Structure 1
Amino acid sequence: MEEMMDRNYKPEILIVDDNMEILDFLEDDLSDQFEIVRATNGAEALDILNRVLIDLIVCDVMMPEMDGFEVCKTIKSNLKNSHIPVILLTAKNSLNAKIEGLEIGADAYIEKPFSPEYLRAQIHSLLLNRNKVKEFFISSPFVHVNTTNIHKSDEAFLERIYEVIQQHLADPNLDVEKLADLMNMSRPTLYRRIKCISAVSPNELINMARLKKATELLIQHNYKIFEVSYLVGFSSQTHFGRNFQKYYGMSPSEYIQQINSRKNIIQS
């Protein structure tokens, strides 16, 4: 299932507006670079989010029944979708309206009439920032989470999932299914949220957390290598060694030797 979810595709943009002409205009302008999904009201937009993997949302503010502010607030308060960037479009040009949009979590606020080039620039900027976050977590998972330029909800989610993984790190049966249960989320939802933030799968994240903890234990010199392997949830020392070699480019014993060599240089 994870391989299917990881398929390559153009970013999916959800555009929300009760004006069909605006929807047609936005789709025509953006469809060359993005896959466009349309919604004519807030309720329809929220329903789509439950069925489609959306990368970014462009939403009008002035809509009947549920306006754009309420749509944005609902999205940003939902753990499943709060990572999705939201751009609000509005004819309201008052400072209070802008502040309200930003306070409920909107990532950008664009006044009508707007330049199509400016809208595309905002979309590319928000998607690029998310890609930078992904690159950071590929190279340094869980390192200084709060120093990265990510949304507060994403930061809180990563801290929470890291805490859950740490609590169950010694369990060799900890996998995406069990992690989803521990996080009170469905497996597809957990996969989508982690993948959007970190560009790695839940199982990869668990594996990296195991190895990161292993390096901490190896540095302490309080445990033998086979003991470390079981403490971080690997079923065997051989399995641990292969994973360690793949991630760090050296065996656990070579890693210990490298650490000892550095200590001797510092002390001499």
Structure 2
Amino acid sequence: MEIVHDEISESDTQREQDLADPHIRLRPVVLIVEDDDDFRGFLKSRLDSLYQIFEASNGQEGWQKALFHHPDLIISDVQMPIMNGMELTQKLVRDKRTKHIPIILLTASRVENGLVCGLESGAVDYISKPFDTAVLLAKVNSLLLLNQAFKDAYSKQLSFVSPEVEVLSEKERFLQSVFEYVHENLDNPQLSVELLSNHLSISRTSLYNRLLEFSGMSPVDFIRSVRLERAATLLEKSSNSISEIAYETGFSNPNYFTKVFKAKYKMTPSEYIQAQKSNVI
């Protein structure tokens, strides 16, 4: 398995600085892989207001960026130097770190059976240029919504059963260990992937790979999900203020807590409380 090098471009460095803004940080991540600078810039301009955008100029660079940034979706050209879009797609779907990422392939070529070859390579969609950008935007939005729905459904299926009740599989034992440690340290705003990996006595890479394979979430997403689910329970049953609940579940910034809560539950904490009182939920 190849290891990603921590090499990012100047534009990506700026992008990382932009992510200090919680409004940007909460957006889905889209990686655009396109060797034509002008067309790549055009795609970015159409998507930049809705998503976090990272860019690559060929398949090899796209592979490195996918490992480094863990995008929610990849848009890739087919005809590119060094590594073309088909080769990139095959590489992504063969690697368990990236096989879950939906890929849209774009091409100006009218190769016979191009659509079939593109889908067989592992892409979820194959669009011929020129195309209506509104169609591309609709496809991107639909795929991201579907991907998020899958993650939400998967997370709801996670059950953490006491070992005394029944024998657990390796997957269940691992998820239970992760869940229990995260739950025990919910009020610690310093809880991190590094602390979690140290507790489990595995590397951060192993933690990322196993948690992604078993739960469909990265360690950061898993920790945030557990915190938010606990916060939702407290909002429903506790008389504490929203800020107190935010601190109690490890969020050091109540404003950030409100933003991530709304991103998950489609309503603010105060709206959630009112909905519970009105028996809307």
Distance 1:180 1:69 in 2: 38
Contact 1:15 1:23 survives alignment (8 Å)? yes
Counterpart AA for 2:222: S
Q: Give, in whole Å, the separation in 1 of the partners of 2:58 and 2:103.
A: 15
Question: Which residue number corresponds to residue 72 of structure 1?
Answer: 89
Match of 1:186 among 206, 211, 230: 206
**Could you tell me which amino acid in structure 2 is paired with residue 49 of structure 1?**
A
1:49 alignment counterpart: 66
Q: How far has the Cα of 1:171 moved from its partner?
A: 7.8
Q: Report if the CA contact (8 A) 2:31-2:55 is conserved.
A: yes
**Alignment CA distance shift 1:191-1:169 (3 Å):** closer
Query: Deviation string for 1:39-89 (max 9, x for gaps)?
Result: 001111111122213111000001122110000000010000111110000
- CA distance in 2 between counterparts of 1:46 and 1:40 reads 11
> What residue number does 1:17 align with?
34
Structure 1 residue 199, shift from structure 2 partner: 10
Partner residue of 2:137 out of 120, 123, 142: 120
Q: Which residue is 1:88 aligned to?
A: 105
Query: What is the TM-score when the length of structure 1 is the normalising length?
Result: 0.57
State the shift of 1:130 in Å: 1.1
- The two structures have a TM-score, normalised by structure 2, of 0.54
Tell me, in whole angstroms, the C-alpha distance in 1 between the residues paired with 2:156 and 2:220: 11
Structure 1 residues 1-268: aligned runs within 5 Å: 8-94=25-111, 96-141=113-158, 163-166=169-172, 177=197, 181=202, 185-191=205-211, 194-196=215-217, 201=222
| Residues 27/170 of structure 1: CA separation in 2 closer, same or farther (3 Å cut) | closer
Q: Deviations for 1:1-56, whole angstroms, at most 9, x for unmatched residues?
A: xxxxxx75211111011100111100111101111111001111111122213111
| Cα distance change of structure 1 residues 90 and 186 upon mapping to structure 2, 3 Å threshold | same
2: distance between equivalents of 1:168 and 1:199? 16
Percent sequence identity over matched residues? 29
Counterpart of 2:207 in structure 1: which amino acid? Answer: R
Q: Which has the larger radius of gyration?
A: 1
| Number of matched pairs | 181
Identify which range, 66-75 or 89-98, moves more after superposition.
89-98
Question: Deviation digits for residues 92-145 of structure 1, max 9, x if unmatched?
Answer: 344511111111110111110011101111111111111221222233337xxx
Q: Distance in 1 between matches of 2:206 and 2:176?
A: 23
